[in-house]
Amino acid sequence: GARGYIDLTLACMRNFGAKVEQMSPGKWQVQPSEYIACDTLIEPDASAATYLWAAAVLTGGDINIGTAPTDFTQPDANAYQVIAAFPNMPAEINGSQMQDAIPTLAVLAAYNKTPVRFVGIANLRVKECDRIRALSEGLCRIRPGLAIEEGDDLCIKSDPALAGQTVDARIETFNDHRIAMSFALAGLLTHGITILNPACVAKTYPGYWDALASLKVEVVTEASQPSA
């Protein structure tokens, strides 16, 4: 599993006075105690930051989100190094410790110079939707064969030539905020991407479409559906 998320939870508990002892690599014991109010610093959402990091490398721009990638402690911040490597992303990416960043990375990989295989992501099948299937189907709407499921791995048959093309790709989000936000990135380079049920981003990033618009991204409405 994603051990980093457990470590974050334990650190927060201890910060508020909880007494937690690790009994074994996968077992912790919480002693009876009380949480004590204190001042604490809450860092920005690293999962949300991945969309802006990816937008910057896709467009060759520079987006300052106010927090340096190295200052994050959340596991999904590990995605920054992969994003920064674009368009030379690794041939194989283990997503087990940055699961919420995989939709971002998968869409980014569609424009990479070489194919990318995502492994360690079986848990994505039981998120808000089956994200492996949603990513595969959405990418194949952009170009048939762009993504292939091999067991619980997701293989992206990268195609940089998609940049500048016009397609007719209506992306089903399955009411999953991360699918909506990730596929909006494809619209930065490929025309004709329509995001269905865009309001689902409200779960974690209600201002996402406004954030893109503030970066001069043209976000239009089609029958009350924003698209990127």
Which residues are identified as catalytic? 100
Whether the CB-CB separation of 207 and 216 falls below 8 Å is answered with: no
Distances from the Cα of 97 to the Cαs of 74, 82, 93, 140, 175, in angstroms? Answer: 10, 13, 11, 26, 24
Q: Pick from 184, 148, 187, 182: which is nearest to 166 by CA?
A: 187
Phi-psi region of 197 (alpha: psi -120 to 50; beta: other; left: phi over 0): left
| Structure-derived torsion over alpha carbons of residues 105, 97, 42, 215, reported in degrees to the nearest 10 | 0
No. of helices (H) and no. of strands (E), the chain: 7, 10
* 161's tokens: 């030539």
Q: Pick from 79, 72, 83: which is nearest to 94 by CA?
A: 79
